[in-house]
A and B are shown apart, each in its own frame.
Chain A
Amino acid sequence: MTTKLKIDGTTYDVTVDEETPLLWVLREYLNLTGTKYGCGVAQCGACTVLLDGKAVRSCATNLKEIGDKEIMTIANKTDPLLKKVQEAWVEEDVPQCGYCQSGQIMNATGLLKANHNPSEKEIVAGMNGNICRCGTYNRIKNAIKKINAGA
């Protein structure tokens, strides 16, 4: 069946089984490969996108759960907060292999949308679902602390 998806300001019609996780619709039907597959079971956060501003694991979110919610991915070019997070990531020299960083950045963006000035404790609690095997966590903490999300 055909589903309408609003992704980063564009509306797409996709014809796909509505049980399919959003991750695979993004990656293979729309070739939006910035959103990554890491575990398939919502354990690592590599696939994180925002649904109406809230971070979700796209590997465990079926198409039918989305309805008319707006999807924001790492490829979004207009969201000012996402841009700030990306700039902070470059400034703090966060990415190493970089594979998990799409998910880290989207999760951090979701965190900052809900809480403009998170404490270290809130950062750790908010980011604990995102795994980075390169261990860039220290840089991630620094980057999030530097972002002025309210401005």
Chain B
Amino acid sequence: MELSRRTFLKNTALVTSAFIVGFYLPVKANAAEDTKETNTLKPNAFIQIDADNTITFFMGQAEMGQGTYTALAMCIADELDAHWEAVHFKASGIDPVYNSVFGPWMLTAGSTSISTKQLEMRQVGAAVNLMLKKAAAARWNTDLSNIKTHNAELMNLKTGDKFTYGDLVADIKTMSIPQDPELKALKDCSLIGKPTRRHPSEAWAKVTGQAEYGVDVRMENLKYAAVLHPAVFGAKIVSFDASKALKRNGIIKIKQIPNGISVIAEHWFQAKEALNYIDVVWDKGEFAKISTKDIRKEYDALLHTPGASMRRDGDTAKAFKEAHSIISADYEFPFLAHAPMEPLNCTVHHTGDSAKMWTGGQVQTVYQKVCADILGLKPEAVEYNNTFLGGGFGRRAAANADYINDAVYTAKDEAWPIMTLWTREDDIRMGNYRPMYKNKARVALNKHGDITAFEAKVVGQPVVKDTILGFLFKDGVDWAQWDGLTDHPYSIANHDMQAHSPSSPIPVLWWRSVGHTQTAPLVEGIVDEAAYKAGVDPIAYRISMLEDLRCIKLLEDVAKISDWKNRKKEKNIGYGVALVKSFGSIVAQVAKVKVSKNDFKVLKVWCSVDCGFAINPLNIENQMISGINFGLAPTKYSEITIKNGEAEQNNFYDYLVTRISDAPDIQVSIVNSGDKIGGIGETAVPPIFPAVANAIFDATGKRYHSLPIKIS
């Protein structure tokens, strides 16, 4: 990585009279491979101050909508006393200093950007602020206590003299960076903790069409490529005839790449249209015989055999034998595409012994290495440029790097920079889905209605196994199988939870909130059933089984804002509650749903969230709204089904997602418990599935265990 850092510093140093600063504050978790010195200061680049007082923050985390640029910039700017409206952002290059908490690569995932980076960003800002004060104190020959900073200016309180930060760039260039700068008390912060709109530079770029996404990258001589992919998962090309396609306007070259046939053209629409004129002989393989009903049959069989143990404690057999009543339920959740609004794309320019690439990625270091490996280069010979992401939801951290592979193989040994852009149909049909699951749950209740035992079985393809997060696959069990299930918050004495990991040629991937998409509807569904069986109010029932005071307080909060106790019994209207701890935060939701003959509509969602401390309360409200509307899609509509080895869905006309007519009123309440800061981007998704299903039960008396819910 040394070379890349030098390249990076050289590039940023092209701006003369600039000061660049950074820290290396190593994170603890899973940093074994990263043997860099600990707690040492290492100049790098988070902040750049130019002599004209332009201040630029370099962002290692990807901005895919979740508000990370703004929130992290708030942390730096507040401590630095920068002029908020005037700061600039730039996506950083690749450097270990930006690595994620998960391992030695840059990764924006797991709702970790703020929880793991906010302190470091505050320290970076505070350190530079102190250096500037020291420099000013030396110039004015006065005490540090006589200097005040505000809006990127320093003021001598005795004389009224002023410097801009830019005036002192030369002074602080040679200064050593303070290791342990004092941070502001929260009450003195002007940005941290205050509801703050998306930074104006980002917001205005996005409302005027100026924001650059991967698909907007333009450069001299740029060519475009579309790829003909196999329709059947795992199918192989036997032979193809592209002669008709080659004769079409604008077509430059057609070549086979590992995952299909790439058509390079002057313009993308020409390339896309030419795909229809390629004749291919496919070896469809065994999977061409498989449809969803076959997968269902296979999973059903697995449900009746012992799986890998996820959690086993107490004596469930005894508890079920002695049970006063038993509730059991079967769940089915389909494959789901992420369908971010920006179709997947990557631009690559291979120039012999080096290359450049442009894309909006959640896992920059890995994509750089994928590119380098395919081109036979060292990673540092590949210049990686991250753009804004037109949605991520996990899809832009593709473990198999499918769309990146297509782009790199397409551009390999070619003379031009080439943008390889997938169609929406590619995005919907090419896999990397949230896995399909078939689950089973059973709880034993004693005569008081308390749950005495909890059995569960999860059948679904593993997500993290054989990926960079493979360390989260342990003892034959995948993180996406147990997260939210084995660590549910309720006090239950006996558990037996198992998982099966079937395989198929359909690639699967983490999908916003990952395992919680299948564990939340199970846990919060069966606990709700137990509450009704026990004849106890569903919120009171949950509270009676909780020890975690934050969870209890949050349920009380959501009961209060929804006026739960005074909810009216109206025909066809139901209320459902759910509580989910995920990514270090807790979210409780109450959904109000209206059910008609074959349909339902979510009218309102009350949402209480405790993420420890809300750095940007406005963005947290936005992310709760986002998660709820995102989660409503698979609650009501979205599913990928398989027929003869192919996905049956193609585009937004048959892979349905939430539209504005589906969006409920949403009221958000933020509870600042003061606990450790947790994640936000994914946390509103999991509770909406069970909250809605539970509300439908309240309205109709009928339990819907599987998603999407089809009222019958």
Contact = CB atoms under 8 A, between A and B. Distances in A.
Interface in A1-18: 17
A138 B624 CA distance: 11
B65 A96 contact: yes
Interface residues of A, number: 55
Contacts, number: 176
Interface string A57-89: 000000000000000011100000000001001
B661 A96 contact: no
Nearest to B388: A98
A135 B602 CA distance: 14
A114 interface: no
B342 interface: yes
A34 B218 CA distance: 12
Interface string A116-151: 000000011101101111111111110000000000
A53 interface: no
A43 B651 contact: yes
A98 B211 contact: yes
Contacts of A44: 341, 424, 652
Contact of A33 (B67, B218, B626): B218
A28 B390 CA distance: 18
Interface residues of B, number: 62
Contact of A28 (B204, B207, B213, B224): B224
B652 A99 contact: no
Contacts of B207: 74, 86, 89-90, 94-95, 98, 101, 105
B410 interface: no
Interface string B613-650: 00000100010011111101000000000000000000
A97 B653 contact: no
B231 interface: no
A97 B389 contact: yes
Contacts of B272: 40
Contact of A41 (B209, B267, B269, B653): B653
A38 B209 contact: no
A101 B390 CA distance: 10
B341 A136 contact: no
A28 B267 contact: yes
Q: Give the most central of A34, A39, A139: most B CB within 10 Å.
A: A39
B269 A39 contact: no
A73 B209 CA distance: 9
Interface in B383-408: 388-393
Given A34-B208, A37-B343, A39-B651, A140 B660 contact: yes
Given A21-B269, A38-B343, A134-B626, A74 B208 contact: yes
Q: Give the most central of A24, A100, A134, A137: most B CB within 10 Å.
A: A134
A138 B625 contact: yes
A6 B305 CA distance: 67
Contact of B269 (A24, A102, A134): A24
18 contacts: A28-B268, A32-B209, A35-B209, A37-B215, A39-B652, A75-B209, A86-B207, A89-B207, A91-B197, A97-B64, A98-B65, A124-B660, A125-B661, A131-B341, A133-B630, A135-B626, A135-B627, A139-B622
Interface of A: 17, 20-21, 24, 28-29, 31-41, 43-44, 46, 73-75, 86, 89-91, 93-102, 105, 123-125, 127-128, 130-141
Interface of B: 64-67, 197-198, 200, 202-213, 215-216, 218, 224, 249, 267-269, 272, 339-343, 388-393, 421, 423-424, 618, 622, 625-630, 632, 651-653, 657-661, 663, 665-666
